[in-house]
């Protein structure tokens, strides 16, 4: 009887997730601030028209994006729905359905003994269909979802390479190909080929696979080196104006990035079986390295919040910095605001370090994105959603506890709540 009730509940949640995702496209939802015909779709549509109406050599100099032109080249040659704005939006929306399908295949390959119904629902109720950034990108033909698809394909083939004893060269080729493609879809996704490359090089797999990996990664990097040479930088000439490292390091981003990372790790942290206080004692107070790290981070945050003067630029000054910055902006008293930032960032630090524990590889992944955050301007939460969730779920070494109904309901309502909050913020408060 209980099993039948669970199946009915799972079906209803599955149906709601799918319907809610489709409904968002029908009503033209903008829950990330970048949607709408007056949002970032303007840049995407103009970029597409440049590639459709000109040769590639001219187009790669004239389009405006901080990503490589691969997305628009693929649209030009393989997307038949580029005749008008609605068709183009529809094509990217339909392609976005590959994300939950691929995530399910990834979960099935990783959690082979887990109940399929659990994995299906975990796929549907995770950030994939509730993420305001996945949703808005899918509805308004933005660029982000292509990178997510490449991330999932990278993991899928790499995991099959690790667990399979046949066709290993073919699986390795596609793992390296799609992880390399990640960089072409979004330079910030360079962490994916780095993870896979290091996993191969430092593993005990046969030497021939390591040699092939080095060769293939070098081969697939050549087109991007050509772009860098052609552009005289990492970004297209039009985008380079607002994407530069000339202004230095944005240390204040450390205050906002750690809570963003923590936000997508929190459900995994809650599902841990150990007592919270015991976990903190073991992973921080009884671990001298982590304890020193926590103290240094606290002192850094304190100095940045109370004494550091942030870099002020004339563009993008009113966007970004994530949910903590937006919540902190509700405080009129400057002291209360700074205390809120300090408490939020330090608490998030404790949670992240406690969750990771002694896993060096997981620490390096988090460190990569913290380092990246101080180099990026503006710092956008969309850079981490749903990537951090996918990294923790698929690539982290830290063990994940899936406690059937408890984990499913937690993921479901946690990420649904985040999505609804973002939708309310942008559509009701900012009227976007």
User: Which structural domain range is residue 298 located in?
Assistant: 253-376
Instruction: Based on the fold, state whether residues 80 and 203 are members of the same structural domain.
Output: yes
Query: Residue 280: its pLDDT value, please?
Result: 79
Query: Residue 432: its pLDDT value, please?
Result: 61
Instruction: Based on the fold, state whether residues 284 and 335 are members of the same structural domain.
Output: yes
Q: Alpha-carbon distance 88 to 18, whole Å?
A: 21
Last residue of a domain, one of 185, 211, 241: 241
Query: Residue 246: its pLDDT value, please?
Result: 58
Query: Tokens for 357?
Result: 């524990």
Instruction: Based on the fold, state whether residues 216 and 354 are members of the same structural domain.
Output: no
Q: Alpha-carbon distance 11 to 117, whole Å?
A: 9
Last residue of a domain, one of 219, 241, 263: 241
Instruction: Based on the fold, state whether residues 237 and 267 are members of the same structural domain.
Output: no
pLDDT at 245 over 60: no
Averaged confidence pLDDT in the chain: 88
Instruction: Based on the fold, state whether residues 314 and 355 are members of the same structural domain.
Output: yes
In a domain, 423, yes or no: no
In the chain, how long is the greatest CA-to-CA distance?
66
C-beta of residue 236 within 8 angstroms of C-beta of residue 187: no
* Structural domains of the chain, count: 2
In a domain, 313, yes or no: yes
**pLDDT digits over 79-114, tens only?**
999 999 999 999 999 999 999 999 999 999 988 877
In a domain, 426, yes or no: no
Instruction: Based on the fold, state whether residues 215 and 296 are members of the same structural domain.
Output: no
Least confident window among 64-73, 180-189, 417-426: 417-426
In a domain, 416, yes or no: no
Residues 6+ apart with CB under 8 A from 232: none
Instruction: Based on the fold, state whether residues 221 and 370 are members of the same structural domain.
Output: no
Instruction: Based on the fold, state whether residues 102 and 230 are members of the same structural domain.
Output: yes
In a domain, 48, yes or no: yes
Instruction: Based on the fold, state whether residues 64 and 181 are members of the same structural domain.
Output: yes
Instruction: Based on the fold, state whether residues 190 and 265 are members of the same structural domain.
Output: no
In a domain, 57, yes or no: yes
Of 279, 302, 32, 267, nearest in space to 142 by CA: 32
Residues 6+ apart with CB under 8 A from 371: none
Of 376, 412, 398, nearest in space to 253 by CA: 376
**pLDDT digits over 25-68, tens only?**
999 999 888 888 988 999 999 999 999 999 999 999 999 998 99
pTM of the complete model: 0.93
Q: Alpha-carbon distance 292 to 300, whole Å?
A: 12
Residues 6+ apart with CB under 8 A from 383: 188, 376
Instruction: Based on the fold, state whether residues 237 and 258 are members of the same structural domain.
Output: no
Instruction: Based on the fold, state whether residues 23 and 149 are members of the same structural domain.
Output: yes
In a domain, 405, yes or no: no
Last residue of a domain, one of 241, 261, 296: 241
Query: Residue 375: its pLDDT value, please?
Result: 86
In a domain, 95, yes or no: yes
Average pLDDT over residues 403-413: 74
Query: Residue 126: its pLDDT value, please?
Result: 61
């Amino acid at each position: 009887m209980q099993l039948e009730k669970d199946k009915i509940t799972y079906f209803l949640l599955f149906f709601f997730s799918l319907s809610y995702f489709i409904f968002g496209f029908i009503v033209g939802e903008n829950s990330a601030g970048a949607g709408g015909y007056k949002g970032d779709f303007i840049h995407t549509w103009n970029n597409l028209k440049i590639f459709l109406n000109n040769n590639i050599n001219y187009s790669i100099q004239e389009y405006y994006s901080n990503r490589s032109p691969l997305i628009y080249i693929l649209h030009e040659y393989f997307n038949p729905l580029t005749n008008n704005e609605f068709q183009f939006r529809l094509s990217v929306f339909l392609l976005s359905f590959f994300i939950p399908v691929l995530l399910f295949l990834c979960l099935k390959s990783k959690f082979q003994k887990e109940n399929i119904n659990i994995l299906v629902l975990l796929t549907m109720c995770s950030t994939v269909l509730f993420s305001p950034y996945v949703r808005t990108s899918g509805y308004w033909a933005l660029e982000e979802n292509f990178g997510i698809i490449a991330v999932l394909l990278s993991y899928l083939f790499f995991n099959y390479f690790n667990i399979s004893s046949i066709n290993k060269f073919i699986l390795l080729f596609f793992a390296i190909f799609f992880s390399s493609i990640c960089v072409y879809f979004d330079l910030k996704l360079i962490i994916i080929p780095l993870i896979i490359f290091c996993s191969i090089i430092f593993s005990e797999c046969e030497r021939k696979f390591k040699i092939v990996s080095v060769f293939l990664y070098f081969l697939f990097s050549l087109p991007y080196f050509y772009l860098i040479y052609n552009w005289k930088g990492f970004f297209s000439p039009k985008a380079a104006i607002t994407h530069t490292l000339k202004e230095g390091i944005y240390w204040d981003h450390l205050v906002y990035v750690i809570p963003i990372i923590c936000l997508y790790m929190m459900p995994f942290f809650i599902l841990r079986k150990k007592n919270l206080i015991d976990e903190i004692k073991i992973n921080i107070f009884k671990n001298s390295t982590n304890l020193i790290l926590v103290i240094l981070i606290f002192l850094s945050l304190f100095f940045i919040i109370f004494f550091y003067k942030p870099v002020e630029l004339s563009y993008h000054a009113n966007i970004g910095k994530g949910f903590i910055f937006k919540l902190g902006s509700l405080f009129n008293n400057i002291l209360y605001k700074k205390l809120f930032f300090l408490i939020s960032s330090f608490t998030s630090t404790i949670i992240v370090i406690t969750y990771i524990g002694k896993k060096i590889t997981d620490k390096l992944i988090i460190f990569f994105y913290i380092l990246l955050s101080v180099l990026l301007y503006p710092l956008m939460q969309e850079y981490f959603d749903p990537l951090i969730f996918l990294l923790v779920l698929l690539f982290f070494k830290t063990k994940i506890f899936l406690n059937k109904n408890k984990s499913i309901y937690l993921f479901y309502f946690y990420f649904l709540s985040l999505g609804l909050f973002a939708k309310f913020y942008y559509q009701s408060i900012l009227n976007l």
